[in-house]
Structure 1
Amino acid sequence: MSDPATDPAFDYAPVGLALLEHRIIKRCNLLFAEIFDASPEALCETPIAALYPSAEDYQRIGEILQLPESQSGIYHDERIMRRTSGALFWCRVRGRSLDGARPFQAGVWSFADLSEERPVVSLTPREREVAILTCRGLSAKEIGLKLDLSYRTVETHRARLLVKFNAKKLPELVAKLSGMPL
């Protein structure tokens, strides 16, 4: 077995990999460092929070990881992340904690840069919530109940999303939000 500190399979993997302990980067590979515009050495001991677009996004993902349905220890999503240069980009994130009951103790995470397929559009936190729930197939009324908004307010947010993503109808918006080909 090779030494994990010098494992070429880890270092040269075709996806960005990071080993985290208590949400702090303990080790990352070359592609992870390239994705986030830094060297592996510069990212070592960096809190992963530094790579989120906001403290609210970092907090929200942390809360999701502690939900009962996340206790399997496996998690994946697509989200906006922040490079060390400050540039925002879409990223596919997959992770597995070594102990599902303690998701932050230790885990391995993969990161894939989706910026070629999905450019970043500036969204308010509420627009982001409505967009996520829309992609999950919820109706305006269901989103309104979940977010404590009137369905008309949800429709207003959806109308703004249609304009921002240059989509004519809701299915086209969902396709653009999910990165699916039209």
Structure 2
Amino acid sequence: MSDPAFEYAPIGLVELENRIIRRCNLQFSMMFGGKEEDYRDMPLLHLYPSHEDFERIGARGLQAMQETGYYSDERIMRRRNGDLFWCRARGKSLTPDDPFRHGIWSFSDISEDRPVIELTPRERDVAIMTCRGLSAKEVGLELGLSYRTIEAHRARLLEKFGARKLPELVAKLSGMPL
């Protein structure tokens, strides 16, 4: 039975079972490229820039969902044609005892607000945590690195994004007007 609210929602929606797409809506298929049926039974792994990103983000998401049943982040994803883009992902588990067993996720293309600049997975982690307002010491503790290493990553991010100071970098990373 078709569900028009799901099918025609103005945001990309997917129903996942163990991180495998069981169904998606029209907006999701348009965002990633192709038709809805192209995604049926597709591992979500195929839409990540790398297997490492899939594993790392999955571990972080699983931990949050075990605690709250919900997860949200902004990340780089990959379209079917290989193009990378910024995406906001939000998920709600329907099986709290096993969060990835069954859930509903939304995906929004936020690439107009953010340029895709080649970042290492570690730089992406540092960028995301910096946007969350964490200090270099807090980021270092969360990633198991020294704050000096985090400062070195931030210096590279400043250079890559053409920012002079950390607030300008955060503005550029979060798509805020300067």
TM-score by length of 1: 0.90
Q: Tell me how far apart the structure 1 counterparts of residues 93 and 65 of structure 2 sit (CA, whole Å).
A: 14
Q: Supply the AA of the counterpart residue of 2:122.
A: R
Q: Supply the AA of the counterpart residue of 2:5.
A: A
The counterpart of 1:161, out of the listed 154, 157, 164, is 157
> Following TM superposition, by how much is the alpha carbon of 1:68 offset from its aligned partner in structure 2, in angstroms?
5.9
Over residues 51-101 of structure 1, what are the superposed CA-to-partner deviations in whole Å (9 max), with x where a residue is unaligned?
Answer: 011111111122123326643211111111100111100001111110122
The counterpart of 2:87, out of the listed 67, 91, 107, is 91
The counterpart of 1:128, out of the listed 109, 113, 124, is 124
Q: Tell me how far apart the structure 1 counterparts of residues 141 and 51 of structure 2 sit (CA, whole Å).
A: 25
The counterpart of 2:51, out of the listed 29, 38, 55, is 55
Q: Does 1:23 align with 2:19?
A: yes
**SS in structure 2 of the partner of residue 155 of structure 1:** helix
Q: How many residues align?
A: 178
**SS in structure 2 of the partner of residue 93 of structure 1:** strand
Over residues 152-176 of structure 1, what are the superposed CA-to-partner deviations in whole Å (9 max), with x where a residue is unaligned?
Answer: 3322211110111111110010111
- Using the TM superposition, name which of 87-96 and 154-163 deviates more: 154-163
Q: Is the Cα contact below 8 Å between 2:65 and 2:96 reproduced in 1?
A: no
Partner of 1:181: 177
Larger Rg: 1
Q: Tell me how far apart the structure 2 counterparts of residues 172 and 74 of structure 1 sit (CA, whole Å).
A: 30
Partner of 1:35: 31
Structure 1 unmatched runs, 5+: none
Partner of 2:138: 142
RMSD, matched Cα: 1.6
Partner of 1:110: 106
TM-score by length of 2: 0.92
Structure 2 unmatched runs, 5+: none
> Following TM superposition, by how much is the alpha carbon of 1:123 offset from its aligned partner in structure 2, in angstroms?
0.5
Q: Tell me how far apart the structure 2 counterparts of residues 119 and 97 of structure 1 sit (CA, whole Å).
A: 30
Q: Is the Cα contact below 8 Å between 1:65 and 1:103 reproduced in 2?
A: no
**Using a 3 Å threshold, how does the CA distance of structure 1 residues 158 and 96 change in structure 2: closer, same or farther?**
same
**SS in structure 2 of the partner of residue 95 of structure 1:** strand
Q: Tell me how far apart the structure 1 counterparts of residues 137 and 67 of structure 2 sit (CA, whole Å).
A: 29
